[in-house]
Amino acid sequence: MSYYTTPIYTEQCRCVQFSKFVALAGSTAFASISLYVNAVEHPALQTLDDSNALQHWKAMYSRAAPIQASLALFTSFVGTGMTYRTGDKIWLVGAGLMFLNLPYTFIFIMPINKKLNATANEKAGPGTRTLISKWNSRHAIRSIFGVAAAGVFMYALMK
């Protein structure tokens, strides 16, 4: 029996291939959600009055934050695992790009999140709208990280 046809090798090969697609799917989902927020949700917020814009932002944030954080962390772990399984460091580059979303968010976006969440909807004003726009600009960097990670994972998968 050849080494390449043993059940253990076949199972490991399938697991590696599946994990590669999981890394790509996770980064693509992250990038897609992030881009949707920048390209659709934020422009829609701009059409609302200050109070309703803040109310909608809070609802959007409370739903998207856990999904985005989970995708970033999970995809980082899968990409890192692929580095160890394949020996190809390109997977670590993609994992690093996904992981960068977490400290970037805590350092540059979380202070804005806290201010917006602490503002009562009825107290929203022009300053609130400015914060939402600032939040969107900083969130766009997260979109770039996600798109870059998806590109790296796609390259790694195709090589």
Element (H, E) at 77: helix 50-86
Instruction: Please check whether residue 25 is in contact with residue 130, taking contact to mean a CB–CB distance below 8 angstroms.
Output: no
d(CA 37, CA 60): 9
> 90-141: per-residue pLDDT in tens?
999 999 999 999 999 999 999 999 999 999 999 999 999 999 999 999 999 9
> 36-50: per-residue pLDDT in tens?
999 999 999 999 999
pLDDT over 70 at 10, yes or no: no
20 to 28, 49, 127: CA distances (angstroms): 12, 44, 44
Report pTM.
Answer: 0.90
